[in-house]
């Protein structure tokens, strides 16, 4: 667990407080510990936390005061109440008041660490949902590549260089948004009224790329039955985006360099020089410097193309941008298809944020589009609508990639597989078929009812049995109209 997560403890028992401090710090958490309400209030006012653990009894005062203050100052921070056996009823009242969960003394190390892990994960998901709400208007502002500080720094560079004719090289892995940044450079320049033309140099056969860029005259080669303008010509007074520019052959690089030195060239098979006014933006998912060192890219072309280099980080390195993209993609799909889906559940967003996205934004878009289709008729995407690899990230509680391997695993009981056949779902598909949605809903309702019955209606305990947060259980209780008294 990363030490970037900070937990506030308010506990007046030296023995309990010191035990919790040691256990949490051993897992890499930063811990701020206080013994009374005034010190706790001061900490809440001046510091940022990812989880709070408050003793119900703090001298002649109690954790309710700190809970109320945390709800007011940082409502996204989950609060766990620590209570003695004889005050369990009061603890349930505090849960209804807004506490995330409670634990009865003496606190076991496994329970404490499980609550800590789930608490900080819930805090991250709540903050992500807050970002999602904050960026609803900004998602249509013309900057479609992210909202994190790192991406806003890149946007500042785009704003500074857009009005100039300077060449810009954008580097980043496939799917990180290189073309979107190039489009923003064009849209914010004085060439915005001109054409923005993109070409993937890796997707065009070498013997066709010259004709594609420069055009050709009629009869220039066997299939040239008529004159054709090239992309450089078509982008006159606009922007030409050369994606995967390092995939050009050295011969083609030399021809492009000559054309860019004075922005004039001849069509293939032609004699007349054509002058163009075009801004070149290039991109590569490979380091151009490494390509130069390997003798596969001309250094003089690099200097011509690259006055500014923009490095786009992978999506896994800017997880806080995921809510922005999820909302953006849902909005686009609503406009395009009229889907009923308007948002995403907290649990689904958490799973999306845990997955590593080796395909970056492109893969995320694919997953959201798939989820929207599976969620047809509902108002939001839930975990069940996500691809299996993404759902596995939620089950494991760790960041995962395509192979599903997790760096952090959840206790087996919380994510243990359930024998569907023993809970009302057939092990094989009946010959007459079945209503899968209704069957799954009935199965889920049955498990929720069993968990509540086993815990005498205690929703926090039932949620733990099902590997859910209390909010997730509440959602299912309401969804299936389950009679829950606690």
User: Could you please report the per-residue DSSP string of 148-216?
Assistant: SHHHHHHHHHHHHHTTS---EEEE--TTSSHHHHHHHHHHTSTTTTS-EEEEEGGGS-HHHHHHHHHEE
Whether residues 407 and 422 fall in one domain: no
pLDDT, position 163: 93
Q: Confirm whether 1 is domain-assigned.
A: no
Whether residues 198 and 247 fall in one domain: yes
Whether residues 87 and 42 fall in one domain: yes
Rounded to an integer, what distance in angstroms lies between the CA atom of residue 4 and that of residue 7? Answer: 10
Which residues, 6 or more positions from 327, have their beta carbon under 8 angstroms from its beta carbon?
Answer: 132, 135, 136, 139, 343, 344
pLDDT, position 457: 82
3-state secondary structure 273-333: EEECCEEEEEEECCCHHHHHHCCCCCHHHHHHHCCEEEECCCHHHCHHHHHHHHHHHHHHH
Range of the domain at 123: 6-134
Whether residues 185 and 283 fall in one domain: yes
Q: CATH number of the domain that 25 lies in?
A: 3.40.50.2300
CA neighbor of 5 nearest in space, from 77, 108, 82: 77
pLDDT, position 31: 94
Q: CATH number of the domain that 429 lies in?
A: 1.10.10.60
Q: CATH number of the domain that 188 lies in?
A: 3.40.50.300
Determine which helix (DSSP H) or strand (DSSP E) holds 83, and give its type and residue range: strand 79-83
Half-sphere exposure of residue 233, counting CA atoms within 13 Å on the CB side?
17
Whether residues 162 and 266 fall in one domain: yes
Whether residues 192 and 285 fall in one domain: yes
Specify whether the backbone of 438 is left (phi greater than 0), alpha (psi in -120 to 50) or beta: alpha
Q: Confirm whether 144 is domain-assigned.
A: no
Q: Confirm whether 307 is domain-assigned.
A: yes
Whether residues 329 and 377 fall in one domain: yes
Whether residues 262 and 348 fall in one domain: no
pLDDT tens over the chain, length 486 residues: 444 689 999 999 999 999 999 999 999 999 999 999 999 998 888 788 899 999 988 888 888 889 989 988 888 899 998 887 655 566 567 777 888 888 888 888 888 999 999 899 888 877 766 544 444 433 334 677 888 888 989 999 999 999 999 999 999 999 999 999 999 999 999 999 889 999 999 999 888 999 999 999 988 888 888 888 899 999 999 999 999 999 999 999 999 999 999 999 999 999 988 999 999 999 999 999 999 999 999 999 999 999 999 999 999 999 888 988 999 999 999 999 999 999 998 888 888 988 999 999 999 999 999 999 999 999 999 989 999 999 887 665 544 455 444 333 333 333 344 444 444 455 566 666 666 766 677 778 888 888 888 887 888 888 888 888 877 788 788 777 777 654
CB atoms within 10 A of CB 68: 13
pLDDT, position 155: 93
Q: Is the peptide bond before 385 cis (omega within 30 degrees of 0)?
A: no
Strand partners, 450: none
Whether residues 449 and 380 fall in one domain: no
Question: How many angstroms separate the Cα of 475 from the Cα of each of 86, 459, 482?
Answer: 29, 11, 10
Rounded to an integer, what distance in angstroms lies between the CA atom of residue 330 and that of residue 340? Answer: 10
Q: Total structural domains in the chain?
A: 4
Q: Confirm whether 403 is domain-assigned.
A: yes
Residue with tokens 């009242």: 93
Specify whether the backbone of 175 is left (phi greater than 0), alpha (psi in -120 to 50) or beta: left
Whether residues 121 and 178 fall in one domain: no
CA neighbor of 34 nearest in space, from 69, 58, 56: 58
Q: Confirm whether 139 is domain-assigned.
A: no
Strand partners, 238: 278
Pick the last residue of a domain from 417, 443, 470. 417
Q: Confirm whether 48 is domain-assigned.
A: yes
Which residues, 6 or more positions from 455, have their beta carbon under 8 angstroms from its beta carbon?
Answer: 461, 462, 465
Rounded to an integer, what distance in angstroms lies between the CA atom of residue 401 and that of residue 404? Answer: 6
Whether residues 392 and 428 fall in one domain: no
Pick the last residue of a domain from 417, 440, 460. 417
Pick the last residue of a domain from 134, 162, 184. 134
pLDDT, position 425: 54
Whether residues 169 and 279 fall in one domain: yes
């Amino acid at each position: 667990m990363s030490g970037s997560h900070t937990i506030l403890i308010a506990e007046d028992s030296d023995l309990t407080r010191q035990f919790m401090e040691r256990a949490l710090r051993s897992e890499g958490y930063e811990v701020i510990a206080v013994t009374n309400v005034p010190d706790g209030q001061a900490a809440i006012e001046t510091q940022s936390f990812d989880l709070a653990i408050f003793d119900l009894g703090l001298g002649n005062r109690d954790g309710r005061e700190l809970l109320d203050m945390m709800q007011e100052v940082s409502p996204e921070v989950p609060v766990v109440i620590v209570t003695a056996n004889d005050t369990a009823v009061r603890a349930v009242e505090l849960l209804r008041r807004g506490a995330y969960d409670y634990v009865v003394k003496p606190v076991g190390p496994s329970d404490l660490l499980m609550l800590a892990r789930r608490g900080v994960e819930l805090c991250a998901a709540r903050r992500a949902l807050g970002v999602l709400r904050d960026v609803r208007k900004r998602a249509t502002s013309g900057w479609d590549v992210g909202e994190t500080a790192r991406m806003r720094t890149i946007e500042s560079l785009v704003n500074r260089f857009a009005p100039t004719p300077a060449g810009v090289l954008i580097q980043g892995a496939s799917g990180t948004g290189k073309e979107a940044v190039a489009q923003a450079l064009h849209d914010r320049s004085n060439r915005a009224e001109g054409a923005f033309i993109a070409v993937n140099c890796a997707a065009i056969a070498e013997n066709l790329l010259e004709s594609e860029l420069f055009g050709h005259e009629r009869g220039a080669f066997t299939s040239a039955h008529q004159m054709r303008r090239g992309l450089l010509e078509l982008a006159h007074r606009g922007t030409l985006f050369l994606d995967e520019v390092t995939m050009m052959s050295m011969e083609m690089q030399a021809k492009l360099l000559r054309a860019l030195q004075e922005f004039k060239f001849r069509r293939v098979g032609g004699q007349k020089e054509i002058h163009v006014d075009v801004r070149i933006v290039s991109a590569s998912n490979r380091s151009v410097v490494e390509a130069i060192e390997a003798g596969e890219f001309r250094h003089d072309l690099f200097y011509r193309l690259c006055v500014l280099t923009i490095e786009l980080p992978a999506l896994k390195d800017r997880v806080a941008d995921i809510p922005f993209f999820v909302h953006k993609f849902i909005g686009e799909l609503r406009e395009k298809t009229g889907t009923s889906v308007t948002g995403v559940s907290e649990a689904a967003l958490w799973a999306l944020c845990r997955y590593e996205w080796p395909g970056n934004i492109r893969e995320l878009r694919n997953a959201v589009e798939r989820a929207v289709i599976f969620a047809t008729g509902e108002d939001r995407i839930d975990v069940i609508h996500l691809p299996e690899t993404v759902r596995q990230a939620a089950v494991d509680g760790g960041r995962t990639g395509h192979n599903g391997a997790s760096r952090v695993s959840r206790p087996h009981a919380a994510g243990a597989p359930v024998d569907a056949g023993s809970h009302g779902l057939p092990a094989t598909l009946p010959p007459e078929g079945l209503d899968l949605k209704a069957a799954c809903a009935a199965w889920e309702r049955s498990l929720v009812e069993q968990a509540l019955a086993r815990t005498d209606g205690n929703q926090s305990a039932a949620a733990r049995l099902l590997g859910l947060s209390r909010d997730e259980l509440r959602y299912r209780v309401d969804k299936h109209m389950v009679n829950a008294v606690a």
